[in-house]
A and B are shown apart, each in its own frame.
Chain A
Amino acid sequence: MPRLLAIGILLGLWQLLVVVGVKSPAGLALPGPGDALAKIGDLARQGVLYPALLNTLRRAATGYALALLVGTVIGLAAARIPVLRAAVGSLLAGLQSLPSVVWVPIAALFLVAGGQDENAMYFVVIMGAFPSIAMGVLSAYDHIPPLHFRLARSLGARGPQLYRHFIISAALPGYVAGMKQAWAFSWRSLMAAELIIGSLASSGLGSLLDNGRSLGDLPLMFAAVLTILVVGIAVDDVIFTPLERGLLRRRGLLAT
């Protein structure tokens, strides 16, 4: 497996830096992969890891679902209504390239200060992820072959039938590609939000990292980073990649 090899090389390089003796300016030694893994074990035994993981996953799922809803509605509306597309098209591209961490201070000011910690997290996740969903819908719609629309007309399909039998199915692969990208955006948005405002709310993976920083507990920081990385990859592997591959295989768009 090339992937295992890549992970092995990465861990090797990390270990090399430890052996060389890299230290922070404050004199703290860089922890190695072993230290981080041991710390993850400790956190699990202390009953800290799972609640943090669950809190974070719950936020990610809720925020992502809301982003999916908002993005799909805006994307579909913009795809079918030319005026709306002209109005929001470039705005969506701009929002997509805007790092969603910029929404954290604003969310902190308006929502966290009002005691709405969770809503602040959702807000940041939605702002980070919905543009990718909406752009995915738009581009998926634009890539439906014109012949399919001609066929639909000649078969007399219109309104809900047109959506159900032609548009939705035809746009699905592009939509899933947008969903996949939106997952990456929502995960990093959530981490930024938890890192900065997480200590006020119930703890998550991001707040573990922040705790590590304030306590000077480097193994804790690296344990948190590793966990965040693994969860991000795992969700993509378990949900989005199989979904995308299944869709493409059935349409004969995938080699092997």
Chain B
Amino acid sequence: MNIFKKSNLIFISIFIILSLFLLKNIYEKKESMLQIQKQVDKHQVGTSNTTEYPLTVIDETGTAVTVSKEPQRLISTAPSNTEILFALGLGEKVVGITNYCNFPEESKNIEKIGEISPLNYEKIISLNPDLVLAYGGFQLKDIPRLRELGITAIVLEPLNLKDTFKSIKMIATACGIPDKGSLLVNNLTKKVDKIKSKVSSIPISSHPKIFIGGTSETIYTPGAGTLFNELISMAGGQNIAAGLSFWKKINPEFVAKAEPDIIIVPIGVMNQEEESKIKEIISKRAGWSNIPAIKNQKIFIVDEDLFYRAVPRLVEGLELLFKIFHE
């Protein structure tokens, strides 16, 4: 094959031009972002109690978002953001939430904007929001369009407890109540520290082995990098799947071999069977009769929302796990 044939040359040059164009754009964008970051770093207030608008926040996508006045109409595009807003006492300003936002109870009557992704731009615009609190991940591809339409959007994507606290503070700052955010985070941190100090007095050898799983045939379990895994180790347990990364489909043999002391079954949207039925199904899985958790009937059923969502309620989840593991 001769590289210098006409057709080859045409295609290769198209590739090179397109790739260079892409690289140039990315480079320029990165440069401009770095500059904005520098400017914001200089003027960052963050800790002061009075908030002056317009204020600029750097969100999780590294974008400098300027909020021009204290937002009065908020839209949350993720259940976690909705919960944080209500925890901060901003519930009354929320004018739109997703179909999946089910907590707290008071949020039930707020207008729905539809699915988490793709976002329904028309619905969002019609609600005339001052600030949209979006979620990374699924919504990353929708965010540029949202901003193009002139909507102020802050993107959050907390993947662990620390980031969750950061998100709470960021939302509080953007909404003009930074002191309230710090207060909430301080309270939560105190609770976490209490559990941590209790756990530190327990020798590692008596940390129980934990397996998280449901009742369906295919078993998915949270590994390293998930909120659940973080909470288990904080509460003084050893996740048998800690060696895996993120949510993984595992073989039942893996669980039989790991011999967990405690089995935790999260229930919620994905799993709505009765407790006794769940325990029965899990106990009767082939090859699992030797697992200590099943022999001693240490199967616990918990509300999944306490462990899957990056919200203040995670701390409740943490306390619950500690209770299950060590009390």
A binds B: no
